[in-house]
Amino acid sequence: VIPAYNSARTITKTLDSVLAQTVPPGEILVINDGSSDNTCEIVESYGSPVRLITQENAGPAAARNNGIRQSQFQWIALVDADDSWLLDKLEHQLPLCADKVGIINCSEFQEEVDYGPNGLDFATLWNHNSIGTSTVLLNKKAFDEVGGFDEDPRYICIEDFNLWLRIMDAGYSVATVTKPLVNYTPADVNLSSDYDRVIKAELFNVDQIGEKLSLPAAMIRTKKAALYEEYAKAFFWKRNIPQARYYYSQLLKQRISINGLGYWLATFLPVALLNAKRPSAA
């Protein structure tokens, strides 16, 4: 299942990598999410087994839900329209299919995953989402049981993490192929507005999942503190000082630390002085 929005520049590489699998998929569903470029023409040129499904623009969560629900198979491989697979991805993952396995993931070339002999547990996933969407082979039974991707636009950028947590909470395990089998294209999050949008989605997810799954308050506070610190550092480095100051103040409300206090105080210094202290690029 491949959601595609204005993906004409990348969809060919994605589809070619899926069609080249040593164990070919039974069907390939591309969900055109209201594209205005020639994504549809490129997809239609492939013919069977590639099938184009078109919908009004509704976001990646709705597109994936649409494709998964129209699929006739029990196991659904997810891939974004700007990522690609190695030739033997499905060959390595399919032997791990089992009734109580909800997700089968693998490593990406940018971030290898190895959870040790006991595999991935909920607490580890909660601390860091190490499951890349394009690595996932998804059990449709688990997907249906928890209700699929949440299509609330406040989850955009984090809707995959939200689903993985709900699937694990429902009692399904994650099986992992540690070998890197996916070429992942990192999201272009460069502007302060992008960071602000992502952290709001992350914080919304923490609150919603915490309430839905009745997670301990300490677990929620620790997660929020980690998010505040991560994004405060990002804003500080980009010299968006008002946002950095705000998120450092939120961090200090969750967790007092000398480091956090030091950076919060640094946000009151002149930007010219902060820039003078930047490490040399040489």
| Burial of residue 220, with CB atoms counted within 10 A of its CB: 0-12 exposed, 13-18 middle, 19 or more buried | middle
Q: What's the confidence (pLDDT) of residue 282?
A: 42
Residue type, 242: P
What is the phi-psi region of residue 47: left when phi exceeds 0, alpha when psi lies from -120 to 50, beta otherwise? Answer: left
CA distance 156 to 171: 25
CB 131, CB 103: distance < 8 Å:
yes
Contacts of 200 (CB under 8 A, 6+ apart): 154
Radius of gyration of the chain (CA): 21
What is the phi-psi region of residue 232: left when phi exceeds 0, alpha when psi lies from -120 to 50, beta otherwise? Answer: alpha
Q: What's the confidence (pLDDT) of residue 190?
A: 47
Q: What's the confidence (pLDDT) of residue 235?
A: 93
CA distance 247 to 245: 6
Residue 138 phi/psi, 5° resolution?
A: -110, 130
| Block mean pLDDT (10 aa), the chain, length 282 | 96 98 97 97 96 96 98 97 97 98 94 88 95 97 98 94 98 96 75 77 96 95 95 93 95 92 94 78 44
